[in-house]
Structure 1
Amino acid sequence: MRRVVKQWHCFPRRLLVPLLSLALLLLALLKLHIFNTNPKTVKVSVDPIFRERVHSYVREVLAKGCRPSFARQKMEAELLSSTPVTEPFLDKKTLLNEQIFKYPPPFGFLHMQNKLQEVLSLLPASSEERFGGRDCRRCVVIGNGGILKGLGLGPLLNQFDVIIRLNSGPVQDYSADVGNRTSIRMSYPEGCPKVWEDVDPDLKFVAVIYKSVDFHWLQAMITKTTVSLWDWLFFWQQVPVNIPIELSQFRLLNPEVIMETALDLLHYPTPRQRLWGWDQNVPTLGVSALNLATYICDEVSLAGFGYNLTQKEAPLHYFDDLPMTAMLKEAMHDVQTEKVLLKHLTASGTITDLTGGIHCNFCSR
């Protein structure tokens, strides 16, 4: 062992930087090869009768009187053994409890007290924040599902008080179908838009921590500094180098929102450390966003949710040409269990499915 160490120290230092640069370049090329495929184009033909039924249903939802605290009260009826999350976002004034440090990300911040405190010291106080500017707020969580393609729902979706978008779901070239307002953009580093399109002055970016290095990235985004070369090695996909928003627009999601989603809504097993792989007990960002919405809005609707795997050539997303079959390769999330939950919540009236991908209230009209 000593001989190996000695030989390493004798390695010419002038070659280390070029070799490291070459390694980073090869890693970047590998990522481009894996994540930038060119599947065949998916053609979409929307039944005009179905489109009109969707529009009529959304107009009905918007026309009804808003029910204060409705979604959260209904959700808590589902969570018989759960203690509601006190604050959905964390900031420098948050009183941190031991539960936050019980599990690793995304369920908590185990062994990450220092990283958490560094980020919290930068964030503005956001307690008792009211989104939407009304006493009773209607919220829509817009998924990235291909079911939105061609529906022309944009103007109606813009009428909701709070609009939550997920990851890099774009708006600029798709506003006719998905609208162009954004109240909350919720994402983790790899899912974050590489080209920022949200221009709402009241926009909030909600950061979700999935791993330790995500703290470093978030801190760099807040302070407008550069992500280190070492940190770049731990991202599985390219991440943004800048988020062009003000400090006051950053928020950090309380991991208890995800833990509640996983353990109490989806009834997944408690998180456990493994040497390799995942337990499929990590909720999708969409279902976690739904749970978050019940904390900040009075009524909650979904749009662009639902994976119909029987329609293999249907578009997976509204913004690209990936077919539905790409979802069959999903290894981290248990989408079938999530679909059962969403069907239950929509059938019970806890939430409303505007596009009918989960539970279609308007299909029989």
Structure 2
Amino acid sequence: MKCSLRVCFLSTAFLLIFVMSVLFTYSHHSIAYLDPGGLGGIHRVKLVPGYAGVRRLSHGVPYPRGCACRRCPEDAAAAAAAWFDSRYDGGVSPVWTKENMELPPDVQRWWMMLQPQFKSHNTQEVLSKLFQIVPGENPYRWRDPRHCRRCAVVGNSGNLRGSGYGHEIDGHDFIMRMNQAPTVGFEGDVGSRTTHHFMYPESAKNLPANVSFVLVPFKTLDLLWIASALSTGQIRFTYAPVKPFLRVDKEKVQIYNPAFFKYIHDRWTEHHGRYPSTGMLVLFFALHVCDEVNVFGFGADSRGNWHHYWENNRYAGEFRKTGVHDADFEAHIIDMLAKTSRIEVYRGN
């Protein structure tokens, strides 16, 4: 009897060892592939790229990043990459479209409190009418993985004065600017090309026909304004005077998604300040639609002054003191993104 128990025990032990070895082998094949190019016929094992090497656009479509770029995110240290991956969500569309018109309730509430209005409007009805005037499509859904889409995010800092970055900026596929951002007279430092201009109603200006106007809406009235500015011109005031008519290409108008706005506030700026600055909104827009992102004109100049490159502002630093944005925390985010190789920052003067 003792003998038979010992035999049963040994048989069971050998069976467990065999099953564990099979499972171990299967699990390794599920996370790796073999490279037959090793010396002497020895196979090298390569791990399948993780999330840092995969791009997810709306509808969860995977897209490999960095393959055709001169700078790849996979070069970042593991700890820094983990910081990025824990915050990044490629499933949130930067653009408000016909497909994602209905906002989640928490987003709707948060967005409507940014600039409360005296009169309530049905946002979906307003959007439906607006999308009869502008496309309401996501133009960034599909990209050629063989091509590296290089994007320049050009801020308005005075550190661009005398930088000589104009030629470098103009060499990008997408060149994103914000608010006033003049180029005439500053071409040597800021470039002459623009593909995307991000503005809210109170900062809006006319644009050339080949430039995409990306509206950053803070309230439903902003959506009514853009529809009016492209048609009847009835709305002349939001919380400040606005252009009643706007000369832009209707086919290139895009609407910034409030859900993406809140995603940046929650995941990236972590509720520092009331809401992220326009610079942050444009930077993360670029990080979700581009393969390589280079940043110009952010932060103070070499003397610590915070002013626009086209003006001399004697109230330097007021941006940091308003309480609306947290410039120090946003500067920290930019530094971390640079450490993870997601962006390269051109510091200027």
The structural deviation recorded for 1:257 is: 1.8
Give the Cα separation in 2 of the matches to 1:107 and 1:291.
19
Change (3 A) 1:327 1:115: same
Once the two structures are superposed, the pairs formed by residues 1-365 of structure 1 within 5 Å of their partners are 66=69, 70=73, 78-80=84-86, 83-94=89-100, 96-98=102-104, 100-105=107-112, 112-129=123-140, 135-193=147-205, 196=206, 198-199=207-208, 201=210, 203-223=211-231, 225-228=232-235, 232=237, 234-236=238-240, 238-268=241-271, 280-307=273-300, 311=303, 314=305, 316-323=307-314, 324-355=316-347
* Structure 2 residues without counterparts, runs of 5 or longer: 1-66
Judging changes above 3 Å, is the alpha-carbon distance between structure 1 residues 284 and 88 closer, same or farther for their aligned structure 2 residues? same
Deviation digits for residues 320-341 of structure 1 (CA, Å, limit 9, x no counterpart): 1113233354231111111111
Cα distance, 1:150–1:290 mapped onto 2, change above 3 Å: same
Cα separation, partners in 2 of 1:102 and 1:246, compared to 1, 3 Å: same
Is 1:150–1:177's contact at 8 Å kept on the other side of the alignment? yes
Hey, what's the Cα distance between the residues in 1 that align with 2:72 and 2:108? Answer: 29
Q: CA RMSD in A?
A: 3.4
Structure 2: how far apart are the matches of 1:286 and 1:316?
14
Structure 1 residue 139 displacement after superposition? 0.5
Q: Equivalents in 2 of 1:131, 1:145: separation in Å?
A: 33
Offset from partner CA, 1:344-365 (integer Å, 9 cap, x none) = 11123221102258xxxxxxxx
* Cα 1:106–1:354 shift into 2, 3 Å: farther
Do the aligned residues in 1 keep the contact of 2:162 with 2:189 (CA within 8 Å)?
Answer: yes
Change (3 A) 1:189 1:284: same
Which stretch of structure 1 is more off in the superposition, 159-168 or 173-182? 173-182
The 1-side partners of 2:213 and 2:328 are apart by: 28
Contact 2:274 2:323 in 1 (8 A): no
Superposed displacement of residue 249, structure 1: 1.2
Give the match's secondary structure for 1:135.
coil
Structure-2 separation of matches of 1:131 and 1:191: 31
Contact in 2 for aligned 1:261/1:291 (Cα 8 Å): yes
Deviations, residues 248-277 of structure 1 (Å, cap 9, x unaligned): 0111111122111111011117xxxxxxxx
Q: Rate the CA distance shift 1:183–1:211 in 2: closer, same or farther, 3 A.
A: same
Change (3 A) 1:131 1:185: farther
The 1-side partners of 2:113 and 2:294 are apart by 24
CA distance in 2, matches of 1:106, 1:221: 24
Superposed displacement of residue 244, structure 1: 1.3
In the TM superposition, residue 342 of structure 1 has moved relative to its aligned partner by: 1.1
Q: Please say if residues 107 and 256 of structure 1, whose CA atoms lie closer than 8 Å, have aligned partners that are also in contact.
A: no
Question: Aligned with 1:173: secondary structure?
Answer: coil
Alpha-carbon distance, 1:137 to partner: 0.6
Quote the sequence identity (%).
24
C-alpha separation between the residues in 2 aligned to 1:343 and 1:199?
Answer: 33
CA distance, structure 2, for counterparts of residue 267 and residue 315 of structure 1: 23
| CA shift in 2, pair 1:66/1:83, >3 Å | closer
What TM-score results when the alignment is normalised by the length of structure 2? 0.68
Aligned partner of residue 247 in structure 2, secondary structure: coil
Structure 1 residues 335 and 352 mapped into 2: Cα distance closer, same or farther (>3 Å)?
same
Residue 70 of structure 1 deviates from its aligned partner by: 4.6
Q: 2:310 and 2:192 mapped to 1: Cα distance?
A: 14
The structure with the largest strand share of the pair is: 2
- Find the aligned partners of 2:292 and 2:87 in 1 and give their Cα distance: 23
TM-fit CA distance, 1:222: 2.7
**Residue 151 of structure 2 contacts residue 293 of structure 2 at CA under 8 Å; is this kept in 1?**
yes
One-letter identity of the residue aligned with 1:351: I
Partner amino acid for 2:294?
S
Q: Which moved more, 1:318-327 or 1:153-162?
A: 318-327
- CA-CA distance at 1:121 after TM superposition: 3.4
CA distance in 2, matches of 1:178, 1:316: 15
> Unpaired segments of 5 or more residues in structure 1?
1-63, 270-279, 358-365
Matched residue SS, 1:78: helix
1:28 aligns to what? none
Shift of 1:158: 0.4
Residues 82, 260 of structure 1: 8 Å contact kept? no
Secondary structure of the residue aligned to 1:352 is strand
